[in-house]
Structure 1
Amino acid sequence: MSKIYQALEKAEKERAAELEKKLPPSTGLQEGEVSQGEVARIGEVCLKPEVSEGGVARQDLVVYFEPNSLASEQFRKLRAHLLKLKIPEPPKTIMVTSATNGEGKSFVAANLAVGIANELHFQALLVDCDLRNPSLSKWFGLEEDRGLSDYLTGNGGPTEIILRTEMEKLSLLPAGKVPDNPTELIGSKRMEALVQELKLKTQERYVIFDSTPLLATTEPEVLSRWVDGIILVVRAGLTPRETIVQALKRIEKEKILGVVLNGLDFRTSALHSRYFGSDGYYYKYGYGKKGNGEKSEERTNRKGLLESLRSRLGLTGSAR
């Protein structure tokens, strides 16, 4: 077993032990019996992180703190789309990026990871690859001594950099100290080896990489070569069409799993229905095949969506 996965298992065992300590004392019930009060308290321990009321996490981790909100429902739709993809294998290592700064890539990456961790059959590892402007450890109310940058420079081992969160099936690999050479670190052989190692034994775990913006840095272009799929975040009313076009040119089209339109006001129903159809928040396109080289319905539908998006962006040519 690799050191990375030993670290993940260690984090999960520590989390389970901590949760067990927080359980209420015995109520005198027979073994196997659980009172309704116990169920409620156990659920609260598992689902509520210990983050200050005024912390950044409360406003940004909407799937966590506002599970019944419209935004949370859109992330559940996004999760559902990802979990059913077969192209030809399910994409378990996913990079989330944007064209420019301020479009909400970290917001999408964090909430997607929380959503996957909430799913019954899967776990999630969230990796903060934004070494220039890291934020995820603060969002989860965690203090980091070391992180990804330290690991890439040989100053930290797996057990030191992977943090357990209060969420039962979510771990975090924080960015670590802000380095002077983020491009070189993300493009290093050690980073490539880390991504490849995380791909192993990922049958029940999704790995979400929060990367830097495509047009502002070169790191996501390098990272995109190693991951299974890419999600591009676009800010509604902010990202110009030309900017989206330039961003799409920098990554492999075959790896694009979808585009998330962030910050959409659902009260503008005309834009909602005309531009993004019934899903609104998530516009999916990509590629997939059935066995024996036969085109699948999924491939046909997503190719049509890609053609529609290309048309709206003013791109010429057809999707392959």
Structure 2
Amino acid sequence: MSRIHEALKRAEEAGPSAWRPSEPTPLGIVGAGGVAGAHRILSSPIRAEMPMAGRCLGLEELRHRCIKPGWKLNPDYDVFSTKQSSALCAEQFRTLRSRLDRLRKKSAIRTLLVTSTLPGEGKTFVALNLALAIARQHEKRALLIDADLRASRLHVRLGAPSAPGLSDYLSGHADEFSILQADPKVELFLVPAGRPAPNPSELLANGMLKGFIDKIGPIFDWVIVDAPPVLAVADARIIAEFCDGIMVVVRAGQAGRDLVKTTLQEFRGNNLLGVVLNGSDQDASCASYSYYAGFELDRK
């Protein structure tokens, strides 16, 4: 834990810096030289109302019109469950949440893309528990978007319906309210992936996801987007163009150094915040994250 605090603190003090993938450094958060065409996003959410479809939409109306299916969160994927082995993991996600909050005081960040180098590296686990950590804060709201239209997992882990969802909205078969789900217990909202689509990349690039985030995003403190692996398909690179920050999850022993460098190169010109190395064995009770020029967390 001490390494995590020291690494992230050094990164915060240093601020954004030029990023060179050939020179990885053990920092908690690595600056990527700023955001190309930086989005002008408020550092705090709009609490009362927001413009939408020619009028103002309040949070209470959003709550009233969105879906409340009653999730059954799988405790195996929830580090905030009552399982004793999750205590350290939960604390480190709180640390990550806190450091991200402090980082965005220096750089306007609300929409965070979470991706990986290859499939099976834990990106969905990180996205889910970071969103849970945010939603469990007092008066904080998180929106979790499953943009992995090819291999969606978030609805399974949350015990939520998979459709209607993002693919239905992007293809014009659903509106904003019918794809938004809410957890009545904490301030967590979900957009599931939706029904299988034959053309995920084209749907993600058609401008509707950006428009959805622009309209809905200001209601939330954070919008966490779970995106497909970078080296598998082009989807993450498409989504990155309208996200404020990027976090890459890499599983220890799975993606080699060269593959990680290739992944980071794909985000040149974007705001790369850090890399999570998943699966190092520093703690037997909670498979830990270490860091490769990035964040350090615990769990799978």
TM-score, reference length from structure 1 = 0.67
Instruction: Describe the shift of the 1:103–1:253 C-alpha distance in structure 2 as closer, same or farther (beyond 3 A).
Output: farther
Q: Which runs of 5+ in 2 are unaligned?
A: 1-50
Task: Tell me if 1:2 matches 2:52.
Answer: yes
Task: Tell me if 1:59 matches 2:76.
Answer: yes
Task: Tell me if 1:132 matches 2:182.
Answer: no
Aligned length in residues:
241
Q: Does the Cα contact within 8 Å between 1:100 and 1:216 map onto a contact in 2? A: yes
Mark the structure with the bigger radius of gyration: 1
Instruction: Describe the shift of the 1:152–1:88 C-alpha distance in structure 2 as closer, same or farther (beyond 3 A).
Output: same
Instruction: Describe the shift of the 1:78–1:14 C-alpha distance in structure 2 as closer, same or farther (beyond 3 A).
Output: same
Q: Does the Cα contact within 8 Å between 2:278 and 2:290 map onto a contact in 1? A: no
Residue in structure 2 matched with residue 206 of structure 1 by the alignment: 222
Return the letter of the residue paired with 1:250.
E
Partner Cα distance (2:117, 2:224) in 1: 18
What secondary structure does 1:120 align onto? coil
Return the letter of the residue paired with 2:125.
F
Task: Tell me if 1:102 matches 2:120.
Answer: yes
Residue in structure 1 matched with residue 23 of structure 2 by the alignment: none
Residue in structure 2 matched with residue 12 of structure 1 by the alignment: 63
Q: Which runs of 5+ in 1 are unaligned?
A: 19-48, 283-320
Deviation, 1:136, is 1.0
Task: Tell me if 1:149 matches 2:149.
Answer: no
Q: Does the Cα contact within 8 Å between 2:289 and 2:297 map onto a contact in 1? A: no
TM-score, reference length from structure 2 = 0.71
Higher relative contact order (CA 8 A, sep 6+): 2
Partner Cα distance (2:120, 2:169) in 1: 27
- Residues 228-272 of structure 1: CA deviation (Å, up to 9, x unaligned): 00011011222210110010010135511111122222249xxx9
What secondary structure does 1:234 align onto? strand
Residue in structure 1 matched with residue 141 of structure 2 by the alignment: 123
Question: Of 253, 264, 279, which aligns to 1:248?
Answer: 264
**Which structure carries more helix by proportion?**
1
Q: Does the Cα contact within 8 Å between 1:117 and 1:168 map onto a contact in 2? A: yes
Partner Cα distance (1:273, 1:190) in 2: 34
Instruction: Describe the shift of the 1:231–1:194 C-alpha distance in structure 2 as closer, same or farther (beyond 3 A).
Output: same
Partner Cα distance (2:173, 2:125) in 1: 28
Partner Cα distance (2:290, 2:145) in 1: 35
**Residues 131-210 of structure 1: pairs in structure 2 closer than 5 A:** 131-199=149-217, 201-202=218-219, 204-210=220-226
Q: Does the Cα contact within 8 Å between 2:290 and 2:296 map onto a contact in 1? A: no
Partner Cα distance (1:240, 1:234) in 2: 9
Partner Cα distance (1:267, 1:190) in 2: 43
Return the letter of the residue paired with 1:130.
D
Return the letter of the residue paired with 2:241.
R
Partner Cα distance (1:231, 1:140) in 2: 21
- Residues 163-214 of structure 1: CA deviation (Å, up to 9, x unaligned): 1124320000011001000010011122222233244x34x52100000000
Residue in structure 2 matched with residue 113 of structure 1 by the alignment: 131
Residue in structure 1 matched with residue 11 of structure 2 by the alignment: none
Q: Does the Cα contact within 8 Å between 1:11 and 1:163 map onto a contact in 2? A: no
**More divergent stretch after superposition (61-70 vs 257-266):** 61-70
Deviation, 1:117, is 0.3
Residue in structure 1 matched with residue 39 of structure 2 by the alignment: none
Residue in structure 1 matched with residue 238 of structure 2 by the alignment: 222
Deviation, 1:74, is 1.5
Q: Does the Cα contact within 8 Å between 2:162 and 2:194 map onto a contact in 1? A: yes
Return the letter of the residue paired with 2:95.
K
Return the letter of the residue paired with 1:2.
M
